[in-house]
Structure 1
Amino acid sequence: MHEQGQRADALRNSDKIVRAAIAVLRESGPALSLDEIARRAGIGIATVYRRFGDRDGVIRAAFQTYFAEEIEPLALAARDADDAGSALTEALAATVDTLADHHGLLRAARESGAFTVDIAERFMGPLSTVLARAQREGRVRADLVVRDLAAIVVMALATVHPGDPGHADPRRYLALLLSGVRPSSGELPAPACPSVRLQKPH
């Protein structure tokens, strides 16, 4: 029972740290201070290091939690829509919008290597059934895969910047990228490799 209590305490502390990190990144941007995270979470700085190792570890955990709670439900909701083609584009647009709203978290995730096509694909997996329906209905090209949708989101989000609070740029480039998913007689080239990681900004 004592070990179970310790594990429960450790999980609670981890959750507090992650919630604090998400809040601080949204309020203050990517210049994340672990001391501020610890203060906001109400725990000691040593616990932060013990649970996550370093700043990048905290950012990775925060970003994956955010994706699981905010992005994956968008993909799940799209599965119940009657119009698969519209549901697909709406889910992608909502994903870009909510991530653009968290510019600090997004930028920190890029810098730490936490934001990758692999992560986006993992949480957008439920869109596979929506994509298959849209393809059967002739709404999108037949050679698309979920990884392509994840890459579209990543590319649109590469245009997010603080001087664009209305997200005009990511919305514009998402629309441009989505124009390429329409049915086409030409085939897409094969991807270079199964894992594509975003480059850190210079």
Structure 2
Amino acid sequence: MHEQRQRADALRNADKIVRAAIASLREHGPDVSLEEIARHAGIGSATVYRRFGDRDGVIRAAFQTYFAEEVEPLVLAARDADDAGRALTEAMTASVETLAAHRALLRAARMSGAFTVDIAARFMGPLGVVLARAQRQGVVRRDLIVRDLAAILVMALATMHPGDPGCDDLRRYLALLLSSLRPADDELPAPSARSHHILDSSPASRQIDF
């Protein structure tokens, strides 16, 4: 019984730390210290180090929690929608909006190595299903591939800048990029043969000023 209580306390503390990290990053920016995260959580720094190893460990756990709760449900819901074309654009729009709202977490996550092949697959896999359905329904270009969607996300996020706190430019250029998904008679140039995960490895994603 005592061991079960200890495990339950440890899980609660870990959850507090992760949520404190998400909140602290949003409030203080990507360079927030582990000590500030611990203070926000109301837990000693030694406990945080013991549970997560270092600051990067906290950031990775925070990003995984954020992704599982705020991003992954968007693309999974789109996968089951009747109107695949609308679901695709709504999922892309909602994903960009939440990513833009957590730009400090994204920047810290990139620096800590939180973007993994697993994270990319969990995002791209369901979107690929929606894209295929939308193509069968004839509402998006037939020559699109799922990595094009990731590129659109990265390009939209790259339009954010400090002079536009309301993200008006982001919304404008996202709408422009999404309009390119519509069926067209022309054919896109072929993509490169190299397989990659644009969300975590492309030069453009590394240059985004989160």
Global fold match (TM > 0.5): yes
Deviations 1:120-161 (A, max 9, x none): 442353333322210101222334344432332233223333
The one-letter code of the counterpart of 1:158 is A
Partner of 2:10: 10
The match for 2:38 is: 38
Aligned residues: 202
2:17·2:37 contact (CA, 8 Å) conserved in 1?
yes
Aligned equivalent of 1:109: 109
Root-mean-square deviation (CA, aligned residues, Å) is 2.7
Once structures 1 and 2 are overlaid, which stretch shifts more, 75-84 or 27-36?
A: 75-84
After TM superposition, the score normalised by the length of structure 2 is 0.80
Question: 62-71 vs 164-173, which deviates more?
Answer: 164-173
1:54 aligns with 2:42: no
Structure 2 runs not aligned, ≥5 long: none
Q: Percent identity?
A: 74
Note closer, same or farther for the CA distance 1:67–1:162 as it changes in structure 2 (3 Å cut). farther
Q: 1:81 to 1:70 in 2, by over 3 A?
A: same
Task: Give me the whole-angstrom Cα distance separating, in 1, the residues matched to 2:170 and 2:49.
Answer: 35
Equivalent runs, 1:114-193 vs 2, <5 Å: 114-115=114-115, 119-183=119-183, 184-186=186-188, 188-193=190-195
CA distance in 2, matches of 1:137, 1:84: 8
User: Which residues of structure 1 form unaligned runs of 5+?
Assistant: none
* Alignment CA distance shift 1:186-1:145 (3 Å): closer
Structure 1 Cα separation of the partners of residues 169 and 193 of structure 2: 26
Between the aligned partners of 1:187 and 1:198, the Cα distance in structure 2 is 19
TM-score by structure 1 length? 0.83
Q: What's the offset of the Cα at 1:2?
A: 4.2
1:89 has 2:89 as partner:
yes
For residues 152 and 112 of structure 2, the distance between their equivalents in structure 1, rounded to whole angstroms, comes to 20
Structure 1 distance, partners of 2:7, 2:82, is 44
